[in-house]
Amino acid sequence: MFTGIVTDIGKVLEIEQRGDLRARIGTGYDVGGIEIGASIACNGVCLTVIALGRSPRNWFDVEISAETVGATNVGGWQINTRVNLERALKVGDELGGHIVSGHVDGVAEIVAMRDEGDSTRITFRAPDDLARFIAPKGSVALNGTSLTVNEVDGREFGVNFIPHTKIATTWAKTAVGDLVNLEIDTMARYVARLRAFG
């Protein structure tokens, strides 16, 4: 489990299609404190560490199944792609965002951006089957970042990015047309399930 609070910006150092897609991600994390088999959210996708190293900088390797590539924006990763990173939640850690599983539900598209003071308002278009789970003032995880929805209009929803979020994540480098990983709030999913059978 994760919280959607990004704690490092990684960079794709190598990417190779073997049986599955394999990626090497450079990180500021101390890899001495990461174990093989650990889970790290990479742009919101929960991935398992299969190798670690320190040269020329700290890095970890992950394998990504075809199913995950098809359901996320991982297929667009290239050398030097920057990714939001978060280590798995430990018992006793502060829950600063919301409960995030790292199981991406689909991909949303950025359809508009505008500056509002020092912040940036970004409008996203959700897939048809996920739009009903997104509510004003509800939570979503976008590229692994826990965010609050400002407004919803059909499939489109807006999120405000404060300067700190843009600096601490990859959001300062996004543009209209970009595809982002979307994980809906787990609570919204269960409420919809209960209503369907209530």
- The reported pLDDT for the residue numbered 198 is 62
Domains of the chain by range and CATH? 8-87 (2.40.30.20), 106-197 (2.40.30.20)
DSSP string, 70-96: HHSSGGG--TT-EEEEEEPP-TT----
Of 12-16, 28-32, 45-49, 91-95, minimum mean pLDDT range:
91-95
* Contact indicator for 90, 32 with CB cutoff of 8 Å: no
Which residue did the predictor score with more confidence, 96 or 43?
A: 43
> Residue holding tokens 């959001």?
171
pLDDT digits (tens, 9 = 90+) for 113-130: 999 999 999 999 999 999
- The reported pLDDT for the residue numbered 190 is 67
- The reported pLDDT for the residue numbered 56 is 83
Compute the average pLDDT of residues 84-101. Answer: 85
Which residue did the predictor score with more confidence, 53 or 92?
A: 53
User: Quick one: which of 81, 66, 70, 72 has its CA closest to 15?
Assistant: 81
What's the predicted TM-score (pTM) here?
0.93
DSSP structural state of residue 154: T
* Contact indicator for 126, 108 with CB cutoff of 8 Å: yes
d(CA 13, CA 115): 32
pLDDT digits (tens, 9 = 90+) for 31-78: 999 999 999 999 999 999 999 999 889 999 999 999 999 999 999 999
- The reported pLDDT for the residue numbered 55 is 83
pLDDT digits (tens, 9 = 90+) for 134-192: 999 999 999 999 999 999 999 999 999 999 999 999 999 999 999 999 999 877 776 76
